[in-house]
């Protein structure tokens, strides 16, 4: 069983103007719930985009669906004046939105609504304490947290959606829980624009990669409530160091080309190479890029900006279950 403090260290915070969303990890109560057969009626899911295998769970509101569709249309239309040998093309394979769409499609399978509880959608019981602090959640990669639990507990956990049960046997099953801030950003009802929202999706999707796999030793660590040595599996956040704007918070990348670095790569390319983006899109992209960069260690950030860092490893090699 993973204890709450450890789980919280998986916390996935994405902050834009001090926003934070955690990875949705909650303390798992040591109570084995038998798989529910047949799965509970969860309502019919809807395909997000005809060209993708991403499904929008019945728990999503009409507004959330509308925003998600808008965000993928935005991605689909993007064109960049990218360098072939640059990081962006190396990571996403193309210099247009199609590479970003494929990246997301490979890593996000299901998107669920903000009010969906872990207990109601997974075949295990979790202590679903309230979201911590004053953080505003935009989105959370809950699938990776649950998958790590399946490794830690050496048992299968199913996710219920579209009136079926889906085994969470790979982090790329990709279950993203939207936060309320995805559609309503602040008390005055304002929304983030599509650049900010899509940056969050790019960030969250990276948590679905178990880059470099897990050793037997890592699995043992997980089983005893500790984090794996390979923090690139799930691209887990680390506590930001002293002097950082997010000092003391689990809101920084622990390894190269983590989730914040992916957010930077997207936003930075958008701010510098987008063909046909509006001024407000470019401005937002610049803010996201700066914020993302501030969550990397200084040496890595410098190397990325200078183009002398190794190319990103976009693979995922989770242990077979
Ligand atoms: Zn994250």
DSSP per position, 307-320: T-SPPP-----PPP
Question: What does the alpha-carbon distance between residue 202 and residue 285 come to, in Å, rounded to a whole number?
Answer: 13
Distance 146 CA to ligand 1 centre (A): 15
Question: What does the alpha-carbon distance between residue 184 and residue 137 come to, in Å, rounded to a whole number?
Answer: 10
Answer yes or no: is 29 within a domain: yes
Answer yes or no: is 148 within a domain: yes
Number of H helices, E strands in the chain: 11, 11
Distance 14 CA to ligand 1 centre (A): 6
CB neighbour list of residue 187: distance below 8 Å, 6 or more residues apart: none
Q: Are 45 and 55 in contact (CB under 8 A)?
A: yes
Q: Compute the radius of gyration of the chain from its Cα atoms.
A: 18
Q: Looking at residue 7, what is its pLDDT?
A: 34
Mean pLDDT of all residues in 289-299: 96
Answer yes or no: is 314 within a domain: no
Distance 34 CA to ligand 1 centre (A): 30
- State which residues have CB under 5 angstroms from ligand 1, the bound ion: 12, 259
**pLDDT > 70? residue 1:** no
Residue 18: how many other CB atoms lie within 10 Å:
13
Cα distances (angstroms) measured from residue 316 to each of 136, 154, 178, 205, 300: 29, 20, 23, 12, 21
Answer yes or no: is 315 within a domain: no
Going by C-alpha positions, the residue among 160, 174, 169 that lies closest to residue 37 is 160
Mean pLDDT of all residues in 137-165: 93
CB neighbour list of residue 243: distance below 8 Å, 6 or more residues apart: none
Answer yes or no: is 258 within a domain: yes
Answer yes or no: is 321 within a domain: no
Question: What does the alpha-carbon distance between residue 5 and residue 225 come to, in Å, rounded to a whole number?
Answer: 9
Distance 263 CA to ligand 1 centre (A): 10
**pLDDT > 80? residue 226:** yes
Distance 70 CA to ligand 1 centre (A): 22
**pLDDT > 80? residue 116:** yes
Answer yes or no: is 283 within a domain: yes
Mean pLDDT value across the chain: 87
**Number of domain units in the chain:** 1
Domain that holds residue 199: 4-306
Question: What does the alpha-carbon distance between residue 68 and residue 56 come to, in Å, rounded to a whole number?
Answer: 9
**pLDDT > 80? residue 77:** yes
DSSP 158: E
Distance 252 CA to ligand 1 centre (A): 8
**pLDDT > 50? residue 288:** yes
Question: What does the alpha-carbon distance between residue 88 and residue 150 come to, in Å, rounded to a whole number?
Answer: 33
Distance 41 CA to ligand 1 centre (A): 30
Answer yes or no: is 57 within a domain: yes
Question: What does the alpha-carbon distance between residue 101 and residue 91 come to, in Å, rounded to a whole number?
Answer: 12
Q: 231-245 burial by CB neighbour count: b if 16+ within 10 A, else e?
A: bbbbbbbbbbeeebe
**pLDDT > 90? residue 132:** no
**pLDDT > 90? residue 37:** no
């Amino acid at each position: 069983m993973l204890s709450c403090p450890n789980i919280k260290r998986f916390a996935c915070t994405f902050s834009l103007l001090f926003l934070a969303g955690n990875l949705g990890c909650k303390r798992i109560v040591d109570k084995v719930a038998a798989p529910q057969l047949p799965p509970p009626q969860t309502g019919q899911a809807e395909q997000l985009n005809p060209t993708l295998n991403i499904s929008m769970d019945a728990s999503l509101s009409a507004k959330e669906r509308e925003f998600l569709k808008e965000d993928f249309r935005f991605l689909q239309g993007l064109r960049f004046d990218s360098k072939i040998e640059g990081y962006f093309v190396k990571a996403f394979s193309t210099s247009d939105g199609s590479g970003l769409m494929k990246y997301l499609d490979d890593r996000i399978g299901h998107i669920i609504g903000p009010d969906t509880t872990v207990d109601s959608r997974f075949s295990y019981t979790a202590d679903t304490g309230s979201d911590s602090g004053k953080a505003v959640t935009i989105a959370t990669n809950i699938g990776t947290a649950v998958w790590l639990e399946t490794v830690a507990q050496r048992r299968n956990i199913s996710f219920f959606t579209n009136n079926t049960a889906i085994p969470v046997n790979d982090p790329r099953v990709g279950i993203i829980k939207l936060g309320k801030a995805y559609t309503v950003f602040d008390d005055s009802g304002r929304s983030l624009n599509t650049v900010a929202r899509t940056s969050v999706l790019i960030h969250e999707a990276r948590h679905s990669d178990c880059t470099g796999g897990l050793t037997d030793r890592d699995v043992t660590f997980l089983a005893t409530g500790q984090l794996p040595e390979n923090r690139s599996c799930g691209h887990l956040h680390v506590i930001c160091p002293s002097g950082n704007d997010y000092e003391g918070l689990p809101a920084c990348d622990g390894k190269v080309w983590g989730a914040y670095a992916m957010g930077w790569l997207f936003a930075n390319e958008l701010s510098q190479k987008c063909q046909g983006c509006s001024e407000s899109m470019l401005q937002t992209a610049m803010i996201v890029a700066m914020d993302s960069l501030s969550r990397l260690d200084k040496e890595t950030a410098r190397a990325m900006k200078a183009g002398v860092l190794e190319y990103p490893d976009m693979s995922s090699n989770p242990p077979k279950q």
